[in-house]
Structure 1
């Protein structure tokens, strides 16, 4: 016999629904702003921002990016291809591993990030941070960080075996 997990209590269920609703509403507002200001999808923004703002070299391996943005390898390859066609990134074989591809943000990609960031920050300030005190923001980070770390403790999606259809 398989044992079923205990059902969620009303507090857990309420917290879950609140988190999902906040995430959905925030994602919608962010995606609208990114489309309006930069003609970018959220995933494209994540890729450009990770390269332009998080990477000292402006480059990263595609597999590492897929793990970071929690996106499948094939879908990320497609999005990177669209960004490459738009001149916002370039792709090349990785100098460290010829089986890997490195993606690098271009000057045009950096310019798009610079253009969309003020509106992006404004949406985050208005939608997420406005109703919270500075202490609440710290508490939110303190609550979500261990959940994120727990969820990321599993092997990254890019390391998971591919499912056959």
Structure 2
């Protein structure tokens, strides 16, 4: 690294590494629980949960990709897998046939119902248990500001396509 490159001070570096390690440890445990309880990858769970929260359980594929910060092609693959399992449907949008509309099926809701209790238990045990309520509020506020700052730059899936 060039000597004139900006450095992180020890507090900044410690915060960064704590965030990265915490995220990795939590994601590993969550992924294991999702696989065991529902045969889902983390991204597949995010896709189903996002649809479950959407009005009428349906969203445009592009909106899903932007919300999940996942590539269009990667999300298409995950959606194909979930569609083969009968957990979602995909169809041209009634408003714009160039757009694909994704909808959660009854089977998809059933899988979410099955995986959510264990998912919540893992999050509570690993992330929330060592924190007080004020700590959780501070963490949520802090990470929310960081997320909002990072979201000011559109996700890669929202960038114009190269032709």
Task: With the length of structure 2 as denominator, give the TM-score of the two structures.
Answer: 0.95
Q: Which residue of 1 aligns with 2:28?
A: 28
Q: Which residue of 2 aligns with 1:68?
A: 67
Matched residue count: 160
Q: Which residue of 2 aligns with 1:19?
A: 19
Matches within 5 A, 1:101-140: 101-140=100-139
Query: What SS is found at the alignment partner of 1:57?
Result: helix
In angstroms, what is the RMSD of aligned CA positions?
1.3
The separation in 2 between residues aligned to 1:6 and 1:24, in whole angstroms, is 26
* Deviating 4+ runs (over 2 angstroms): 161-164
> Structure 2 unaligned runs (5+)?
none
Task: With the length of structure 1 as denominator, give the TM-score of the two structures.
Answer: 0.93
Q: Deviations over 1:86-113 (max 9, x none)?
A: 0000000011221110000000000000
Q: Which residue of 2 aligns with 1:50?
A: 50
Identify if the C-alpha distance between structure 1 residues 99 and 141 changes in structure 2 by more than 3 Å, giving closer, same or farther. same
> Structure 1 unaligned runs (5+)?
none
The separation in 2 between residues aligned to 1:85 and 1:26, in whole angstroms, is 28
